[in-house]
Amino acid sequence: MWTAHQVVFELLSPLHIGYHKIGNLAATRRYVPGRAIWGALTSRITRDTGGRDYAEVGQSVYEQLAWTYFFVSTSPGQVSLWPWNGKEYEFEWLYLNSLASTALEDGHSAEEGALHEVEYIAPRTRTGERVFLNGYLFERDGSTLDWRDALNRFQIGGERSYGWGRVSPFTITPVDGACFGIYPAQKDTERPVIEVPGGCSLVAHTLASGSDDYEGAVEPLVGRETDTAKAAFGVLPSSAVVCWTPGTRTLGTHKFQIGLHGIWELV
């Protein structure tokens, strides 16, 4: 059995979730994927317990917790503007910004070819409103992980050494209703199961199959993992899995299990 919690973070600093490069621009994803949540929780809990075995803690996080992707909003607990459905430009204008910088040669002049720009989700919209990250976390009955305390010292995404990705828990509320007000959750299964009504969008990467019951794009999803033996964080690429992207529309009603790193699997 699982208990579902609606978790709302307030974004305190720029947030960059690595996506792809367009020329000199490092683009950010428009949402926080499950792998980023898993990595941040694993890192924080490992440090809080004074350990160094990220792999062991990461496995415990997977076994005892599950989570949805987190989405940007100006309203705590509600997502009023998804980064798809033909509203991409509106979303980008409201939430995104970028920072350009360059390396200096000999500490004085710009190094040739070193100009780069990093796109980020801003902690304030262009209209001055606070920005929140909305999602759901499921806790397995009997969990021993102090995840609530870990969320108080949480950083997500890239450029963390520059203070980016800082968030603060705004509300953590047990819930029985549908996730995001749309997707019913089944909590008496081995892993939480999310039901997606026909005509609605997937809100997580979902393992692709040969079914023609989806309308959207696919992408190979690759992340980075820690080499525990060398104490090298994030240096090993993970195996790629081909997924439907968030925003893909389902033609029929389907149920999906929340798997490793928050990726959905058809059940």
Model confidence pLDDT, tens digit, residues 94-142: 999 999 876 545 555 545 555 679 999 999 999 999 999 999 999 999 9
pLDDT at 49: 85
Give the number of domains in the chain.
Answer: 1
One-letter amino acid at 241 equals V
Q: Quote the pTM value.
A: 0.90
Domain extent for 117: 2-266
Going by C-alpha positions, the residue among 69, 49, 43 that lies closest to residue 225 is 43
Model confidence pLDDT, tens digit, residues 137-177: 999 999 999 999 999 999 999 989 889 999 999 999 999 99
pLDDT at 52: 78
CATH of the domain at 180: 3.30.70
pLDDT of 64 > 70? The answer is: yes
pLDDT at 226: 56
